[in-house]
């Protein structure tokens, strides 16, 4: 219990005799602001962190293009458009062979098969191109989330450092405020009793951090 506590019951002297309360209130306000700001930023940071594993996996896949193409190719199915083109190719091939009297000939069948092969080849390549376009778009989207999260994380780190410095200042202010007030009061009393003594007293306080608040 400090000497200030004995005077606290006197009406109107509470806030004056406890200057450290202002530092406590400032610390609480700083904590509220910091936690509120952190709450706003945390989802963006978390989302950015979530992208790290996904982007690493995508990068590893792109570094092995043969395996990636084989995996995608195994999922290929003839598109409805390609099926329509195959039907037309067969019909046109048979009509052409019939017109030339080559129905059932190996040449006619070869032409039909060659046309069908070209159709499937183009359709398969279009399937792979579409997948790659969507894949790269997904990577770009993930990178955007990651960049936002990284920027947010850097900002949160800077805020944490600033907040830590502020809290340290508030803690020091709480500890030093009573001693500083004592020095001011004692110096005032001494000056009242002996003019000029207060200046001497306060000058001596600069060597006493507890009293001078330094």
DSSP 5: G
Question: What is the reported pLDDT for 211?
Answer: 43
Give the per-residue pLDDT at 98.
67
Tell me how far apart the alpha carbons of residues 97 and 61 are, in angstroms, rounded to a whole number: 47
**CA end-to-end span of the chain, whole Å?**
22
pLDDT along the chain (214 residues), means of 10: 49 54 80 89 94 94 93 93 90 72 68 87 95 95 95 92 84 67 46 47 46 42
pLDDT of residue 187: 45
At residue 212, the pLDDT reads 43
Domain coordinates in residue numbering, the chain: 3-212
The pTM of the full predicted model, rounded to 2 decimals, is 0.61
Name 181's Cβ contacts closer than 8 Å, sequence gap at least 6.
4, 17, 19
In this structure, what are the phi and psi dihedrals at residue 169, rounded to the nearest 5 degrees?
Answer: -65, -40
Whether 94 contacts 108, CB under 8 Å: yes
Nearest to 24, CA basis, from 180, 173, 162 = 173
pLDDT at 62: 92
Cα–Cα distance for residue pair 113/105, rounded to 1 Å: 12
């Amino acid at each position: 219990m400090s000497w200030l506590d004995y005077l606290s019951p006197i009406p109107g002297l509470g806030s004056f005799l406890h200057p450290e309360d202002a530092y406590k209130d400032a610390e609480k306000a700083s904590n509220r602001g910091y936690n509120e700001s952190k709450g706003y930023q945390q989802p963006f940071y978390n989302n950015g962190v979530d992208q790290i594993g996904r982007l690493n996996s995508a990068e590893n896949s792109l570094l092995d293009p043969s395996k990636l193409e084989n995996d995608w190719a195994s999922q290929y199915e003839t598109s409805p458009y390609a099926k329509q083109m195959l039907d037309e190719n067969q019909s046109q091939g048979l009509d052409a062979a019939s017109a030339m009297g080559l129905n059932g000939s190996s040449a006619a069948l070869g032409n039909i098969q060659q046309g069908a092969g070209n159709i499937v080849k183009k359709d398969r390549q279009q399937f792979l191109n579409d997948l790659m376009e969507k894949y790269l778009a997904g990577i770009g989207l993930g990178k955007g989330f990651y960049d936002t999260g990284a920027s947010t994380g850097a900002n949160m780190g800077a805020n944490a450092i600033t907040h830590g410095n502020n809290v340290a200042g508030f803690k020091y202010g709480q500890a030093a405020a009573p001693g500083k007030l004592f020095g001011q009061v004692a110096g005032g009393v001494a000056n009242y009793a002996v003019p000029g003594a207060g200046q001497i007293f306060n000058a001596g306080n600069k060597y006493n951090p507890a009293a001078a608040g330094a």
